[in-house]
C-alpha cells in the first residue's frame, strides 16, 4: 500500500513522458535542427538527402509520439468499481467504468522479471464495461 501513496489514491498512473514519447520529441527536435541548418547541410550532401531525412524524421516523430489504446490511469471508485482512463490519441482520452472481476492481464511485458524499476507493462483485457455513452 505504501507504493500507492505517491499516486494520491490511484492504482496506476502512466508517466507523462514515456520512452516512446521521448523518442518522438527527439525526432521532432532533430527535424527542426536539420531544417534550420538546411542550407549548410544541402551544400555538403546535395539537396535531396537532407529533405528526405527531415521528412523521415518528422514521420518517425509523429508515429512515436502517437500512443493509442493505452491505459493512462486506473483508479478505484467508492462502490468497488474501477475507472480506467484510455488514451485515444496523445491529447484525447476517454474513461470506462468496470468491475475488477472483468479485468484480466493477458500477458506481462517489459523487464519486470529482471528486477528493473518502472518498466512493468501488461496487456489487459476488459470483458464488460460502461463508458460515458452508457
Q: Give one DSSP letter per residue of 63-94, joined into a string.
A: HHH---SEEEEEEE-TTS-EEEEEESSSS-EE
* Beta bridge partner(s), residue 126: 103
What φ, ψ does residue 8 adopt, rounded to 5°?
Answer: 60, 50
pLDDT score, position 1: 41
> Would you place residue 66 in the very low, low, confident or very high pLDDT band (cuts 50, 70, 90)?
confident
For the chain, how are helix, strand and coil distributed in percent, rounded to 5? 40, 30, 30
pLDDT score, position 2: 47
How many CB atoms are located within 10 Å of the residue 34 CB?
A: 17
If one compares 17 and 38, the residue with the highest pLDDT of the two is: 38
How many CB atoms are located within 10 Å of the residue 98 CB?
A: 17
pTM equals 0.69
pLDDT score, position 41: 93
Amino acid at each position: 500500500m505504501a507504493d500507492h501513496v505517491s499516486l494520491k489514491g490511484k492504482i496506476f498512473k502512466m508517466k507523462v513522458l514515456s520512452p516512446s514519447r521521448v523518442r518522438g520529441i527527439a525526432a521532432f527536435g532533430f527535424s527542426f535542427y536539420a531544417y534550420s541548418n538546411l542550407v549548410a547541410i544541402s551544400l555538403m550532401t546535395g539537396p535531396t538527402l537532407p529533405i528526405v531525412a527531415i521528412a523521415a524524421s518528422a514521420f518517425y516523430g509523429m508515429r512515436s509520439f502517437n500512443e493509442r489504446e493505452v491505459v493512462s490511469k486506473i483508479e478505484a471508485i467508492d462502490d468497488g468499481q474501477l475507472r480506467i482512463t484510455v488514451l485515444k490519441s496523445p491529447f484525447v482520452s476517454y474513461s470506462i467504468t468496470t468491475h475488477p472481476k472483468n479485468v484480466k492481464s493477458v500477458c506481462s511485458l517489459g523487464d519486470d522479471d529482471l528486477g528493473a524499476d518502472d518498466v512493468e507493462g501488461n496487456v489487459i483485457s476488459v470483458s464488460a464495461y460502461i463508458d460515458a455513452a452508457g
